Amino acid sequence: MKIPANSILKIIGEEGANIKHIRLTFGVDITILRPHEPVGKTASVLMTGDPCKILMARKHIKSILGGRRINTESREHMLLF
């Protein structure tokens, strides 16, 4: 899934608290791929694990972002178990 690049720190949280919470609560592995360009507008979030738990984690991320629009068109992350 894609998130706004300026939202990376919200997903990570203070001292990694949010990303740790996501990993433990939903049982998914989550990696944030930072944008490569200096002015990249989006970052990729790669999640692996049970597809149902990934969907729940995506909803949680959306709530962290305050309902900001995120791109969830790509579903290849759901195939990586």
Look at 77 and 44; give whichever has higher pLDDT.
44
Predicted confidence at residue 75, as pLDDT, reads: 44
**For residue 66, what are its two tokens?**
């305050």
Give the residue extent of every domain in the chain.
Answer: 2-66
pLDDT digit string, tens, across residues 3-29: 988 899 999 999 999 999 999 999 999
**What value, to the nearest 5°, has the Cα angle with vertex 75 and ends 45 and 35?**
30
Which CATH code fits 2-66? Answer: 3.30.1370.10
pLDDT per residue as tens digits for the range 46-75: 999 999 999 999 999 999 988 655 554 444
**pTM of the shown model:** 0.74
Q: What is the pLDDT of residue 37?
A: 66
Q: How many CB atoms lie within 10 A of CB 29?
A: 13
